[in-house]
Each structure stands twice: as structure tokens, then as C-alpha cells.
């Protein structure tokens, strides 16, 4: 066993750091701190810079213009971006593009992959509906075949990014007579299509999401990804990719490091917070938990590089990361005392209010992207081989 | 032992719940949070008309002389309703300080007005971003002419800009003084803070503010013992408010999982969901009992301090934890700004952080054990 990165991987990390140090301007950092709802113009421009330099395709196979790097290297890359809050197109790059490579037609690959790679095209996820959250297969948005077209009518909810993405990856019912899972298909369509209406949904955290209404939206049959009625399978492939990237540890590490720095600076009863044994105990526990998560992240990545599929591991990553996010922010606020409640832009706000921002987002991490209860079912049933309830 | 409300207290509870469901709907809580404290003016006037603002005071100074339990019943209901007013800060904390430490003339001047809802007072206590314990006072009074001059700064002052009076804790030579001054007085500077918890917090700076003898509570008195009594009482009532809020949030969570279907079943029929709510129930029940024990034993000497400390720590943590559980069982809906749940989530943090939070009580408890 060897837990160290190879010298090439270390050099790779240095290369990324140099690139980011050089290209991430103070103005971009300022924009990131103040435009939480929507990537601003500088973030969008930076996405294209990443694209132009070939960084977006780092994990893509060479035949699609990627660098064909291992999953470990991808993890290193996304860690470095996460540490700086850089917008890199998220799931469009890490999950949907990979799924397209697996199931899309040649024409679709030609149409989408090069533009995704250049950072020109971003796709939002249209799974959830008002009546279909955890139970995605109960969704009722209909896509009916009419000649060479499908006509789509229905409503999606919590469609994050629909107000700045160019396309939506939509799961809809194509055959209502088949059993629930079997009558679904995936479509990619431009959000500008006639009949699509996007309405904002504001949340308790600094994230905006949307409702998307589809009223007789006409798309060519070629907008369907994969075979008709294979949508649930296609989504399962996408979710497998998604889960690997969901439970990452880098942002936790960053927040922890900043918390640690605050504990050095802030004083209580005439001494630095860090000298208080109670604070030390809390920080030590958090550090241990983040280390365990880091190990699990790299184990999943290593498994992928070995040609294995991390299922229980990826689900456990998601559960650990989201619950640790809640715990780190909660404990951090307690450690900091009264100023722990102050938000971005307030006088005396430690960590520029980042801890408070993360605390408000943490509930979403625990139920979003497949709730932690569903993830625990996956660990128990697919990982441990236990029977279904 | 008798762990039920008396008949009279139950009537107060029913009346309070009816009044608040009418006068303090979540929409009002939201308006105050998104706007200014003045949005709650009508509610405040209604609370005064109910006699609530007179509850903690002696009849002699314009109050109602009720027992702590009756006040507790009302505070628990306020917590349930996510009360957006300054009740605990103004009435329970500042009112009690004036009552305990004020001169007869000061009581006559301020308490009846406070009880009528015409005088809004905010406590200016904390000074350091990370709260030392006991509060180290930099804010100080120096004699000047016939009166004093005040210098220093206070942090986390609730609704300072909308207060008629700030009740400032300051040091003078060896002792601790309480003094009342207008936030509009020359030399007082207000800086708005932004908190996820309390929507209207301020830093208040004093630049050589002129203070007259009549503004100092009880003239030559050392206010430290009064301050301790007040902090203990307020901690007990903050616990009561937290207990009320916790119960309400648990009820909201239960109502949601009784309505929401997934996989052809009620979400509340899943064992994982039931276990989360079962834990939340035990959390809420024990926190409520601790709060009630603290309130009813407030006057029993040293053991009261232990009870209050337990209640303060247990209840604020339970409130936050129950909100987080509620978010989990609500899923995406509960995360929306338009859904009311987060109003309570922020309230839970507001109560947790109030008056320096639970941490000083933990340290106190460690010494008392
Ligand atoms: C800010 C935000 C952004 C989002 N972005 C997107 C997006 O871009 N695209 C998209 O499609 N969706 C998105 N979502 C939706 C998200 O994926 C769903 O909220 C999530 O899947 C849970 O569904 P739900 O909210 O309907 O909760 P429900 O499914 O109603 O769950 C409620 C509770 O019941 C529990 N439960 C349900 N089924 C079971 C079971 N079988 N066993 C045990 N417990 C169970 C859950 O664990 C949960 O605690 C977003 C949500 C939010 C809040």
C-alpha cells in the first residue's frame, strides 16, 4: 500500500496551482464572493479560459478531445478549484458529458461535446417534479411523439441553473402504459425553446433555483438521448458519475483551515481561542472526520482507476460530506462565539461570513442529490447485501 | 411533583395561543425579518393590551405581580409563534433590571410606559466578538462636571436604532453601572451588523456621550448582582421560548410527513423518517422539562443556577437540532424562502446566540458540578 501521490501527480497539482494563481484575479474572487445565485460574467469567462486551456476535459478520454487523466488526477484538479470556489460547469462536465459519451448518438456527441469542452454550453438537471423527489420514477411530465417530433408538457421544480444554463437535461414520460421505471426517456433541449418558462425559486441559503414549466414544447426526435424508454437507465449512469463528485472534502478542508486561522487570531479571556482546550478538542474531532472523508474520496477515485464502480463508497462519501458540512459549520459557529452568527458583508464577520453561508446551505446537501436516507439504503443494500425493507 | 399546568395557566396558554395565531402569523414574522422592527408595532400594542408587557413587574410599579410560571406560559407560546418582537430583551431583561436596580423615580418613569408598550428598551451588554466570560467591560463612565462621560462600544445590541432607550452596562472605577440613554443622544453611533440569526443587530459606539446622574440606575449602586440575577432569569425564559419553538417545528415536520407521499406511501411511514422524528420528540420533551424546571426553581438559590444552565444548553441545542431534522424530512420544499420553516431555524440561532449564548453557561456548570 502507498497513500502518497506519485511525483507526476504532485507536479500536476503544482501546475494547476500555478495556473490558478496566475489566472484567478482579485476581481473574479470578489465576484465569486458576491454573486452566489448565478455565476457572474467573470466566472463565465473563466470557464471559457479553463476550456481554452484544455482543463475542462481533464478526465475525458482523448478521443473526445480530453486529456484522459486518471480519476485521482481529476480529484486533485477539482480539489484545487473547490478550494477557490471556481465555477467549472459542475455536473455538465463531470457527469452529463461522461454519460453522453456512453449513451448518446454520434451526431449528439458531435453537437454537444466540443462545445461543452470549450465551456460554451452548460446543462441543468430536470429530474425533480413537485410530486416526484426521492421517487423520481413517479414523474408525470409527458413527451408525446407527433411525427418526427416530441411534444413535451409538464413541470419541473428545483431546476438549479435553468436561468443561466443553455440547455436542460430532461427526464420525461414517453410511454404511460409501461411500468413506472420503464416508460421514461431523457431529452436535451435548449432552454430557449418556445413553450419553456423559467421562474425563480429563492431559498434560505445563498442559492437560487427554479421552476421550469413546459407547455407543448416541440423538439425533434433527435433530442432524445439514448433509446426510447431507457431514460431511467441513462439517469442511473449519470447519477453514478454524479455521486462520485458529490461527497468531496476540499471545501470542508478549506473552511476548516480558515476556522483554524480565526482561532489563532480571535481572543477570549486574554488568550487565543486556539489555546482553549475545549476549542482544541472540537477542532481535533473535526480534523479527524475530514481526514476520514479524504481517505474515502481517494479510495473511490482509486477504485474507478482500477475499473471498479464505487457504489457504497460514493454513497458513504455523500452522507459523510453533507453531515460533516453541517457539523463543521455548527461547531465552528459555537467555537467563534457571538461573532459566529455574522454574515458576509457585516462588520466583525469572521471568515467573511463563509461559515454562516455554508451552515445555511448544509441542509440542502443532506437531502439534495438523493437524500441521505436513500444513500443509506444504497449502502446497506448494494454495499452490504442486506435485503430491501 | 405536579408536572401539569394549573387550570388558570392552561387558560392563559389557550388565550395566548389564540391571540398569537391571529396577531402573529408567519407572514408577520417574515415582514419583520425582511423589514424593520416597526412592522411588529400592532402586535406589540396588542401584547400590551393583553397585559403581557406588565407581567414581570410588581403592582406597585405598574405591573401585575404574577408568578414566573404564568410569564413562562406566555413566553413558551411566543416561542411557538416565532415571536418577532423584542419581548425577552425589552420586558424580561431590561424591564427586570429597571425593576431591580432602578430608583423609585426611575421605576415610576419607565415601568408603566414599558408595560403600556410605549417605551422600547434594548440591552447593551456584550463587547467582544468572541464573548469573554465574565464579560470584560471596556465601556466606561468618567466623572465630568455634575455628571459623567461615556466611552466605549457595545456589540450585538438588538433593535438599537428603534429603541427609545439603551440600557448600557458600563464600568466606573471598580464597579459596574447600568445607565439608560437614548440611541439618538449626541456621541452615540450605530453600526448595523448582519446576522443569520437576529435580523436587527447593531454595534453601538459611545464617543464621550454626556450622561447625567438621573440616567444611572439606582445612582450609587453596584449593578453586578442585579446583572447576574437578570442573566439567570433571562436564560430561563430564553429556554422557555426555545422549548416552544422546538415543539412547533416538530409539529410542522410531523404534519409534512403525514401529507407527503413518495413511492406510493406516506413519507412518514418510512422507518428512517420515523426514527429521526422519534429522536426529535425525545429532544423536545426533555428540553421543555428542563426549561420548566429552571423557571419554577428560579428562586431556589444555588441549585437554580445549575437548573438554568442545563435548560439553557439543552434547549437551544434541541431547537437547532430539531430544525435541522425538520429540514431533512421536508426535503426541497422546506428549503425554499417562501416556506416558513427557515423562520424558526433562524429563530433557533437567534435564541442560541442571545446574551452571549450557551457557552458561558457550560463553563458555569463545569464550575458548579
Ligand atoms: C436548492 C436545491 C437545488 C436542487 N437542484 C436540483 C436540480 O438541479 N435538479 C433536480 O432535478 N433536482 C434538484 N433538487 C431536488 C432534490 O434533488 C430533491 O429535493 C431531493 O431529491 C429530495 O426530494 P424531495 O425534496 O421531493 O424530498 P422527498 O422525496 O419528499 O423526501 C422527504 C423525506 O422523506 C424521506 N424519504 C423519501 N423516500 C424515502 C424512503 N424510501 N426511505 C426513507 N426515507 C425516505 C427523505 O429521505 C426525506 O427525508 C434541488 C433541491 C434543492 C433544495
pLDDT, position A86: 86
Domain identity same for A191 and A290: no
Digit-coded pLDDT (tens) for B211-236: 999 999 986 678 999 999 999 999 99
C-alpha of residue A213 to centroid of ligand 1, in Å = 19
Residues in B touching A341 (Cβ below 8 Å): 195-198, 349, 353
Strands B175-181 and B165-172: antiparallel
Provide the angle, in degrees to the nearest 10, between the axes of the packed helices A354-367 and A250-265: 150
Q: Which CATH superfamily is domain B224-368 in?
A: Butyryl-CoA Dehydrogenase, subunit A, domain 3 (1.20.140.10)
Domain identity same for A156 and A283: no
When pLDDT is cut at 50, 70 and 90, the band that residue B210 belongs to is very high
Q: Which residues line ligand 1 (CB under 6 A)?
A: A 124-128, 133-134, 158-160, 203, 207, 209, 364, 367-369, 371, 373-374; B 260, 262-263, 267, 270, 272-273, 328-329, 331-332, 335
C-alpha of residue A368 to centroid of ligand 1, in Å = 5
Share of chain A above pLDDT 90, in %: 87
- Cα B229 to Cα B226: distance, rounded to the nearest angstrom: 5
Residue at A266 is within a domain: yes
Domain identity same for A139 and A230: yes
Domain identity same for A253 and A369: yes
Identify the active-site residue in A242, A313, A325, A331: A242
C-alpha grid cell, residue B343: 423562520
**Under a CB-based contact definition with an 8 Å cutoff, are residues B73 and B288 in contact?**
no
- Cα B361 to Cα B56: distance, rounded to the nearest angstrom: 23
Based on the structure, what is the number of domains in chain A? 3
Digit-coded pLDDT (tens) for A219-241: 999 999 999 999 999 999 999 88
Give chain A's count of helices (H) and strands (E).
Answer: 13, 10
pLDDT, position B136: 75
Omega of the bond leading into B267 within 30 degrees of 0 (cis): no
Last residue of a domain, one of A208, A234, A260: A234
Last residue of a domain, one of A36, A61, A88: A88
Mean pLDDT of A35-56: 89
* Radius of gyration for chain A, computed over Cα atoms and rounded to the nearest angstrom: 22
Domain identity same for A318 and A350: yes
Domain identity same for A254 and A332: yes
**Burial class for B275, CB neighbours closer than 10 Å (0-12, 13-18, 19+):** exposed
**Under a CB-based contact definition with an 8 Å cutoff, are residues B274 and B336 in contact?**
no
Domain identity same for A142 and A183: yes
Q: Does A19 have pLDDT greater than 70?
A: yes
Share of chain B above pLDDT 90, in %: 88
Helix (H, G, I), strand (E, B) or coil at B329: helix
Single out the residue of B217, B209, B128, B234 nearest to residue B177, CA to CA.
B217
Domain identity same for A251 and A230: no
Helix (H, G, I), strand (E, B) or coil at A369: coil
- Cα A279 to Cα B363: distance, rounded to the nearest angstrom: 13
C-alpha grid cell, residue A219: 423538439
Mean per-residue pLDDT over chain B, rounded: 95
pLDDT, position A143: 98
- Cα A225 to Cα A330: distance, rounded to the nearest angstrom: 42
Domain identity same for A253 and A361: yes
When pLDDT is cut at 50, 70 and 90, the band that residue B133 belongs to is low
- Cα B168 to Cα B141: distance, rounded to the nearest angstrom: 11
Residue at A114 is within a domain: no
Question: If you search the block for the grid coordinates 511525483, which residue do you land on?
Answer: A7
Question: If you search the block for the grid coordinates 464597579, which residue do you land on?
Answer: B175
Kindly indicate whether the ipTM for this predicted assembly is greater than 0.85, answering yes or no: yes
Mean pLDDT of B241-269: 98
- Cα B87 to Cα B89: distance, rounded to the nearest angstrom: 6
Distance from CA of B197 to the nearest CA of A (A): 6
Ligand 1 atom closest to residue A156's alpha carbon, by position in its atom list: 11
Residue at A65 is within a domain: yes
pLDDT, position B218: 86
Count residue pairs from A and B with Cβ separation < 8 A: 127
When pLDDT is cut at 50, 70 and 90, the band that residue B80 belongs to is very high
Mean pLDDT of A342-359: 95
Give chain B's count of helices (H) and strands (E).
Answer: 11, 9
Q: Cα A369 vs. chain centroid, distance in angstroms?
A: 9
Share of chain B above pLDDT 70, in %: 98
Closest B-chain CA to A348: B129
Mean per-residue pLDDT over chain A, rounded: 94
pLDDT, position A90: 84
C-alpha grid cell, residue A252: 470542508
Which residue would you say has higher pLDDT here, A29 or A138?
A138
Mean pLDDT of B314-338: 98
Paired with B189 in beta bridges are: B205
- Cα A111 to Cα A116: distance, rounded to the nearest angstrom: 9
- Cα B100 to Cα B225: distance, rounded to the nearest angstrom: 10
Paired with B366 in beta bridges are: none
Helix (H, G, I), strand (E, B) or coil at A131: coil
Write out the DSSP string of B31-92.
HHHHS-GGGGHHHHHHHHHTTGGGTTS-GGGTS----HHHHHHHHHHHHHTT--S-IIIIII
pLDDT, position B149: 97
Domain ranges in chain B are 7-119, 122-215, 224-368
Chain-chain contact of A346 with B195 (C-beta, under 8 angstroms):
yes
Residue at A286 is within a domain: yes
Chain-chain contact of A202 with B359 (C-beta, under 8 angstroms):
no
Digit-coded pLDDT (tens) for B145-179: 999 999 999 999 999 999 999 999 999 988 899 99
Q: What are phi and psi of A387, to 5 degrees?
A: -75, 160
Single out the residue of B1, B98, B88 nearest to residue B350, CA to CA.
B88
- What does the DSSP 8-state code read for residue A340? G
Domain identity same for A332 and A252: yes
Digit-coded pLDDT (tens) for B21-76: 999 999 999 999 999 999 999 999 999 999 999 998 888 777 777 788 999 999 99
Write out the DSSP string of B155-195.
EEEETGGG-SEEEEEEEETTEEEEEEE-TTSTTEEEEEE-B
* In CATH, B7-119 is 1.10.540.10: yes
- Out of B131, B335, B356, name the one closest to residue A203 (CB): B335
- Give me the CATH number covering residue A130: 2.40.110.10
Residue A212 lies in domain:
125-234
Residues in B touching A364 (Cβ below 8 Å): 332, 335
pLDDT, position B60: 78
Single out the residue of B83, B22, B80, B84 nearest to residue B248, CA to CA.
B80
Omega of the bond leading into A189 within 30 degrees of 0 (cis): no
Residues in B touching A338 (Cβ below 8 Å): 126, 128-131, 155-156, 353, 356-357
Q: What are phi and psi of B337, to 5 degrees?
A: -60, -35
Digit-coded pLDDT (tens) for A170-181: 999 999 999 999
Ligand 1 atom closest to residue A371's alpha carbon, by position in its atom list: 47
- Give me the CATH number covering residue A282: 1.20.140.10
pLDDT, position B135: 65
Mean pLDDT of B132-146: 85
Question: What are the distances in angstroms from CA A66 to CA A44, A57, A75?
Answer: 20, 4, 15
Distance from CA of A69 to the nearest CA of B (A): 35
Residue at A302 is within a domain: yes
Would you call A343 a catalytic residue per the annotation? no
When pLDDT is cut at 50, 70 and 90, the band that residue B299 belongs to is confident
Q: Does A210 have pLDDT greater than 90?
A: yes
Domain identity same for A262 and A357: yes
pLDDT, position A88: 83
Weakest-pLDDT range from A33-42, B186-195, B332-341: A33-42
Domain identity same for A262 and A229: no
Q: Does A67 have pLDDT greater than 90?
A: yes
Residue at A223 is within a domain: yes
pLDDT, position A128: 98
Write out the DSSP string of A241-288.
HHHHHHS--HHHHHHHHHHHHHHHH-EETTEEGGGSHHHHHHHHHHHH
Q: Topology of domain B122-215, per CATH?
A: Butyryl-CoA Dehydrogenase, subunit A; domain 2 (2.40.110)
Residue at A118 is within a domain: no
Q: Does A85 have pLDDT greater than 90?
A: no
Last residue of a domain, one of A234, A260, A279: A234
Strands A123-126 and A167-173: parallel
**Under a CB-based contact definition with an 8 Å cutoff, are residues A305 and A315 in contact?**
no
Digit-coded pLDDT (tens) for A257-273: 999 999 999 988 889 99
Amino acid at each position: 500500500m502507498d497513500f502518497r501521490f506519485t511525483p507526476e501527480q504532485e507536479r500536476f497539482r503544482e501546475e494547476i496551482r500555478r495556473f490558478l494563481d496566475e489566472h484567478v484575479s482579485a476581481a473574479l474572487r470578489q465576484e465569486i464572493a458576491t454573486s452566489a445565485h448565478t455565476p457572474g460574467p467573470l466566472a463565465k469567462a473563466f470557464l471559457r479560459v479553463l476550456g481554452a486551456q484544455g482543463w475542462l476535459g481533464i478526465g475525458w478520454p482523448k478521443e473526445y478531445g480530453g486529456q484522459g487523466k486518471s480519476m485521482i488526477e481529476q480529484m486533485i484538479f477539482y480539489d484545487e478549484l473547490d478550494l477557490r470556489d471556481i465555477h467549472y460547469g459542475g455536473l455538465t462536465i463531470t457527469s452529463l458529458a461522461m454519460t453522453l459519451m456512453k449513451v448518446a448518438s454520434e451526431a449528439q456527441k458531435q453537437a454537444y461535446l466540443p462545445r461543452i469542452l470549450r465551456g460554451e454550453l452548460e446543462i441543468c438537471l430536470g429530474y425533480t417534479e413537485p410530486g416526484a423527489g426521492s421517487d423520481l420514477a413517479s414523474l408525470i411530465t409527458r413527451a408525446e411523439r407527433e411525427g418526427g417530433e416530441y411534444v413535451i408538457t409538464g413541470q419541473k421544480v428545483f431546476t438549479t441553473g435553468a436561468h443561466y444554463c443553455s440547455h436542460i437535461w430532461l427526464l420525461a414520460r414517453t410511454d404511460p402504459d409501461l411500468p413506472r421505471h420503464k416508460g421514461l426517456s431523457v431529452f436535451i433541449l435548449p432552454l430557449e425553446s418556445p413553450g419553456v418558462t423559467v421562474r425563480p425559486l429563492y431559498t434560505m441559503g445563498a442559492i437560487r433555483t427554479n421552476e421550469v414549466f413546459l407547455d407543448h414544447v416541440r423538439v425533434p426526435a433527435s433530442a432524445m438521448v439514448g433509446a426510447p424508454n431507457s431514460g431511467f437507465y441513462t439517469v442511473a449512469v449519470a447519477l453514478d458519475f454524479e455521486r462520485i463528485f458529490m461527497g468531496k472534502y476540499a471545501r470542508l478542508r478549506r473552511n476548516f483551515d480558515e476556522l483554524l486561522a480565526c482561532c489563532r487570531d480571535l481572543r477570549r479571556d486574554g488568550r487565543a481561542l486556539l489555546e482553549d482546550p475545549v476549542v482544541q478538542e472540537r477542532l481535533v474531532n473535526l480534523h479527524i472526520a475530514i481526514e476520514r472523508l479524504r481517505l474515502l474520496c481517494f479510495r473511490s477515485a482509486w477504485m474507478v482507476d482500477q475499473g471498479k464502480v464505487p457504489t457504497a463508497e460514493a454513497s458513504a462519501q455523500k452522507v459523510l460530506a453533507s453531515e460533516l458540512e453541517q457539523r463543521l459549520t455548527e461547531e465552528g459557529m459555537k467555537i467563534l462565539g457571538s461573532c459566529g452568527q455574522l454574515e458576509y458583508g457585516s462588520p466583525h464577520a469572521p471568515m467573511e461570513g463563509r461559515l454562516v453561508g455554508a451552515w445555511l446551505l448544509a441542509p440542502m446537501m443532506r437531502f439534495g442529490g438523493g437524500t441521505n436516507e436513500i444513500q443509506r439504503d444504497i449502502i446497506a443494500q448494494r454495499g452490504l447485501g442486506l435485503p430491501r425493507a | 411533583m405536579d408536572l401539569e399546568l394549573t387550570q388558570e395557566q392552561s387558560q392563559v396558554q389557550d388565550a395566548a395561543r389564540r391571540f398569537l395565531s391571529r396577531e402573529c402569523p408567519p407572514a408577520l414574522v417574515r415582514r419583520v425579518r425582511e423589514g424593520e422592527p416597526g412592522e411588529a408595532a400592532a402586535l406589540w400594542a396588542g401584547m400590551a393590551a393583553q397585559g403581557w408587557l406588565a407581567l414581570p413587574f410588581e403592582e406597585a410599579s405598574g405591573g401585575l405581580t404574577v408568578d414566573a410560571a404564568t410569564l413562562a406560559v406566555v413566553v413558551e407560546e411566543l416561542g411557538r409563534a416565532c415571536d418577532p418582537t423584542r419581548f425577552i430583551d425589552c420586558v424580561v431583561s431590561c424591564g427586570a433590571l429597571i425593576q431591580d436596580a432602578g430608583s423609585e423615580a426611575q421605576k415610576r418613569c419607565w415601568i408603566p410606559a414599558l408595560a403600556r408598550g410605549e417605551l422600547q428598551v434594548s440591552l447593551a451588554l456584550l463587547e467582544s466578538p468572541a464573548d469573554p466570560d465574565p464579560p470584560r467591560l471596556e465601556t466606561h463612565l468618567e466623572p465630568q462636571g455634575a455628571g459623567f462621560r461615556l466611552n466605549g462600544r457595545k456589540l450585538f445590541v438588538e433593535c438599537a436604532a428603534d429603541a427609545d432607550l439603551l440600557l448600557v452596562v458600563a464600568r466606573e472605577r471598580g464597579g459596574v453601572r447600568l445607565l439608560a440613554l437614548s440611541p439618538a443622544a449626541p456621541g452615540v453611533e450605530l453600526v448595523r451588523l448582519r446576522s443569520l440569526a437576529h435580523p436587527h443587530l447593531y454595534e453601538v459606539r459611545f464617543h464621550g456621550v454626556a450622561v447625567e446622574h438621573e440616567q444611572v440606575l439606582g445612582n450609587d449602586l453596584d449593578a453586578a448582582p442585579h446583572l447576574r440575577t437578570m442573566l439567570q432569569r433571562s436564560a430561563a425564559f430564553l429556554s422557555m421560548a426555545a422549548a416552544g419553538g422546538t415543539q412547533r417545528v416538530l409539529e410542522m415536520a410531523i404534519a409534512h410527513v403525514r401529507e407527503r407521499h413518495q413511492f406510493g406511501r406516506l413519507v412518514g411511514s418510512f422507518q428512517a423518517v420515523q426514527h429521526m422524528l422519534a429522536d426529535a420528540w425525545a429532544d423536545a420533551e426533555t428540553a421543555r422539562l428542563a426549561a420548566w424546571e429552571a423557571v419554577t426553581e428560579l428562586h431556589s438559590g444555588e441549585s437554580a443556577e445549575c437548573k438554568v444552565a442545563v435548560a439553557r444548553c439543552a434547549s437551544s441545542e434541541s431547537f437547532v437540532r430539531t430544525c435541522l431534522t425538520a429540514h431533512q424530512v421536508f426535503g426541497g420544499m422546506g428549503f425554499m424562502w417562501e416556506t416558513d420553516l427557515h423562520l424558526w431555524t433562524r429563530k433557533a440561532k437567534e435564541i442560541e446566540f442571545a446574551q452571549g449564548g450557551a457557552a458561558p453557561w457550560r463553563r458555569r456548570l463545569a464550575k458548579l458540578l
